[in-house]
Structure 1
Amino acid sequence: MRCRAARRLYKALGRRGVFLLILGVGKTCWGVSFLVDPPPDNGLELLTQFCGLRHWAWLWITAGLITGFSAFLQIGRDKLGFRAALTPPAVWAIAYAYAVLTGEYSRGGFVAIWYLTSHIGVICWAATVPEYSVPPAPRPRRGKAP
């Protein structure tokens, strides 16, 4: 029964929708973790000068919810989900890069590159992947031999 429901959900969402749903859940959970037990703000001083990490958690949560809900939209209308998914890692990458340039957090360059590649790069790549990259095989016609 579970497999049937999972197959039905996968068929309804498609490849892009499944990716958006996974991203949405992950970003929402990451934001909630900042609310429950905020980590030290090493390298994020650019952000914390405006407000605390608990407030910045809502950026992750909001982006995650928008991304997750966009999974259920039609292809072509899911662009908002991909844009929302890009926002938090872009903000964090900028903050870490700024921390390196100001000398506040030397490790921030590696973290910024990590956000740029494993988050932003993957999201940008997934946004360009068509839903069905291989056309379905032609169906044989009845009564006619090839």
Structure 2
Amino acid sequence: MLFPRIRRHLGRRGALLVIVGAGEIIWGLQFVLDPAPNPQGLTLLTEVAPVHYWAWMWVVAGVAAVAAATVRIGRDWPGFAAALAPPTVWSTAYVAAGLAGEYTRGLWIAAWYLSSHVGVIMWASAIPEFAAAPPAVPAARPVKEGAA
């Protein structure tokens, strides 16, 4: 079967990177492909570049996360770092807009990004791939009576 083989190859960390990466690609593409995306609350970013440009950060980070899912454990950290960048940057913009009173809902959106995106990615990057059970202590063999 194809899926169990892929799942074994990716492992837990790789599977999470694929899921998060795919989500980031989709999230970024919705801004890239929309002819007039709503940049409400993203003034901090749109003062530097249009929202379409910032959306490419999501797409590129998602591709990097998916690519990092295929490498050996311990070498996947660039995927986690890439996955953290977009929600962290956009959270910062939403916090700035919320504190400035420009977009008060931005504080709620930032809290959501920080908990459901940044928090989950950081948690997943810290978990070991395989939680090994403690080694089993072999039981002593009973000695037969009369055996020399």
Relative to the length of structure 1, the TM-score reads 0.89
Offset at residue 10 of structure 1 (A): 0.3
Unaligned runs of at least 5 residues, structure 1: none
1:9 equivalenced with 2:6 (yes/no): yes
Counterpart in 2 of 1:74? Answer: 72
Match of 1:43 among 35, 41, 46: 41
Distance 2:132 2:14 in 1: 17
SS of aligned partner of 1:122: helix
Q: Residue 27 of structure 1: SS of its match in structure 2?
A: helix
What percentage of aligned pairs have identical amino acids?
47
The answer for the alignment partner of 1:126 in structure 2 is 124
For residue 70 of structure 2, give the secondary structure of its aligned residue in structure 1: coil
In 2, distance between residues paired with 1:91 and 1:113?
A: 13
- TM-score w.r.t. length of structure 2: 0.88
2:106 counterpart residue number = 108
Deviations 1:20-39 (A, max 9, x none): 01111111111111111153
Q: Which position in structure 1 is the counterpart of 2:26?
A: 29
**Structure 2 unpaired stretches of 5+:** 143-148
* Structure whose alpha-carbon radius of gyration is higher: 2
Q: CA RMSD in A?
A: 1.8
Deviation at 1:103, TM superposition (A): 1.2
Residue equivalent to 2:16: 19
How far apart, CA to CA, are the structure 2 residues paired with 1:35 and 1:136? 49
1:84 aligns with 82
Q: After TM superposition, what 4+ stretches of structure 1 lie above 2 angstroms from structure 2? A: 134-138
SS across alignment from 1:41: coil
Q: Could you tell me how far 1:145 is from its partner in structure 2?
A: 5.9
